[in-house]
Structure 1
């Protein structure tokens, strides 16, 4: 039934793009997006049964992101061989799902195991062709969509963001555009126009979900001088629906997340810390307008002040124990050095930053730096909280 296929395709296409746009650098979101987009293409294109191997392998890749690191290494080594084997024996698509099920049971992830079983059954039914194709497609699509939503919610939780309003907004806008443009094709639908219907729905959804990346691309060509400023404003506007309510119990976690986003005002806008009363007072004191970007800039100043209070008074740079929290926060987040990244090379560092970089690389293990950052973030959070409680 064409209606079921179009709706399933549209939902899978939308959610795949939505997850990808959230942060294309994250493996979890990359793999979930690949699985959903591949499944959407399986619905539309006359692909062989082995094409279901891509969503199946991607599903397994998402599962291992929530398991110990060694499993992810195994997945990366086996993904391509499994896809190649599925070309000759489509039943191979069930192997990664069976492996994911075993792993979930070993680490006692019952919800993941149940979802994997349901998706595996849908894949098996599609291979043996015993039920109507539309029913099997809808069943497998439902499993993937639920799994994709779980991935989105888990990522938002890790980022300290709310996601319900943002996801519903994106879904409704995408559905509206798909209905407006796809509906015009559907009015005159026949066998020759079916590809056009899918293409119209895909284009309408893509234009909505990828609006910001597309706008940035156009800005870099048309108005390169203000492209970054316009991108920052768009990011700030998009971040507003993702801002969760301020939770005093999670103050340290919110501060840690804000420090991680120190150099990105667009992401700082989404921090609940921008609603602190001390920011209201500071904005009023300098006569600034009560705008999201102004609040984010004020929060950035507060974080910098909190970091600077950790600095010892016996010089500009040191490596003793009393310097570790300041160094871990200031040079990593404020200065922006990345001592363990091979792709990051900075030529604009001052002498103190160069000394700090050499010290991190030669004497501070990455895990130790992470622990110092957590401890330093707790101190900054206590400083912020004291200003909240201050009369």
Structure 2
């Protein structure tokens, strides 16, 4: 029983962070699940049971105004240090975050948080037998993780059921194959080996793409990027939303996501815009096969055409109001300049791109650029909607 709970928590924790390790909400939810799995498998100190509460609080504040997230970042480590002496100290921040969240939106996530809060309080006080309570906390954590994954998929415009089931079945299969061999000869001395084998098998399945990317960069660096793009496209297929009819709001959201993934065919493959009738017509017109990568490439071409339609006709670069939407989309997404990133330096920019970069850095606040991109995405979405197949 504990092995199954460990496997589920470990798998879901890795699955969340593998979706997009750049997102704080996914990293924090993952940390809570991984800490819970560690508490089941290892003789860890009681403070480890406080990690899920702190991580859950951090995931919730991601849905609250920015100031609460700053408070969490500053207080997370001190809370864990204090929890070493008094585990209950991690619960008031979680209760406060729950109250703020429920006031803004009443969802199943709030109910799961409440149950987790009550269960954690009982465990930390030793009021009732901890075995069943820890199991109930695990159920709450799994529910929380699934809800976080569903919300992330909704935000990204992706389908998630097929991808999640595929990952779960693959992980369970590998865990059964390798863990089963250890279980055949199991005794008390081999129990840690059993948990370690199951953990390694699940990690190899869930993290197969990142691990393959590391190997490629070492073994075949000349084609590592191309292989990574193909793997991302394959991984994206189960996430594709098969709807061909999108309402106005979904069309704008999908366009915004397509623009943010303009240079990544793997991300474009999972975008529902690839199912637009105009894509079908364009593929048929040039006799191209109806393949996911072909659809993604055609969508990329469509996006570029729509962006170029926004370009004024009075030159190659300008900074007047009529240029702002074109500049915000073309130079940021198509050319790929990142004016506010210190880590991204481009030496291959043409003169117009250099002018645009200097203009963004010196005269355009980051928030203003973001607003222009949102407005530009609406214009591109309207242009895509107006495209009627020939």
TM-score when normalising by structure 1: 0.95
Q: Is the 8 A contact 2:17 2:26 kept in 1?
A: yes
| Post-superposition CA distance 1:336-370 (Å, at most 9, x none) | 11122232222221111111111122222222222
Which runs of 5 or more structure 1 residues have no equivalent in the other structure? Answer: none
Q: Compared with structure 1, are the counterparts of its residues 49 and 118 closer, same or farther at alpha carbon in structure 2 (3 Å cutoff)?
A: same
Q: Is the 8 A contact 2:98 2:113 kept in 1?
A: yes
Q: Which moved more, 1:336-345 or 1:42-51?
A: 336-345
In 2, distance between residues paired with 1:86 and 1:247? 51
Q: Which residue matches 2:72? A: 75
In 2, distance between residues paired with 1:83 and 1:237? 40
Q: Is the 8 A contact 2:174 2:202 kept in 1?
A: yes
Alpha-carbon deviation of 1:88?
Answer: 1.6
| Post-superposition CA distance 1:314-350 (Å, at most 9, x none) | 1000111111111111011001111222322222211
Alignment of 1:197-216 (within 5 A): 197-216=194-213
Q: Compared with structure 1, are the counterparts of its residues 10 and 75 closer, same or farther at alpha carbon in structure 2 (3 Å cutoff)?
A: same
What is the RMSD of the two structures over their aligned residues, measured on CA atoms? 1.6
Segments of 4+ moved more than 6 angstroms: none
Secondary structure at the aligned position of 2:22 is classed as coil
Q: Is the 8 A contact 1:162 1:241 kept in 2?
A: yes
Specify which of 29, 34, 37 is matched with residue 37 of structure 1.
34
Q: Is the 8 A contact 1:239 1:266 kept in 2?
A: yes
Which runs of 5 or more structure 2 residues have no equivalent in the other structure? Answer: none
Secondary structure at the aligned position of 1:88 is classed as coil
| Post-superposition CA distance 1:116-173 (Å, at most 9, x none) | 2211222223224454443222111110010001111111111111111101110111
Specify which of 2, 7, 26 is matched with residue 23 of structure 2.
26
Give the aligned length.
387
Q: Which residue matches 1:238? A: 235
Q: Compared with structure 1, are the counterparts of its residues 253 and 110 closer, same or farther at alpha carbon in structure 2 (3 Å cutoff)?
A: closer
Alpha-carbon deviation of 1:176?
Answer: 1.4
Alpha-carbon deviation of 1:105?
Answer: 4.2
Alpha-carbon deviation of 1:390?
Answer: 4.3
Q: Which residue matches 1:182? A: 179
TM-score when normalising by structure 2: 0.95
Q: Which residue matches 2:377? A: 377
Secondary structure at the aligned position of 1:339 is classed as coil
Q: Is the 8 A contact 1:63 1:112 kept in 2?
A: no
Alignment of 1:1-391 (within 5 A): 4-109=1-106, 111-244=108-241, 245-249=243-247, 250-387=250-387, 389-391=388-390
Q: Is the 8 A contact 2:109 2:147 kept in 1?
A: no
In 2, distance between residues paired with 1:76 and 1:87? 18
In 1, distance between residues paired with 2:132 and 2:185? 25
Secondary structure at the aligned position of 1:248 is classed as coil
Q: Which moved more, 1:113-122 or 1:96-105?
A: 96-105
| Post-superposition CA distance 1:82-117 (Å, at most 9, x none) | 111111222223233233233334435454432222
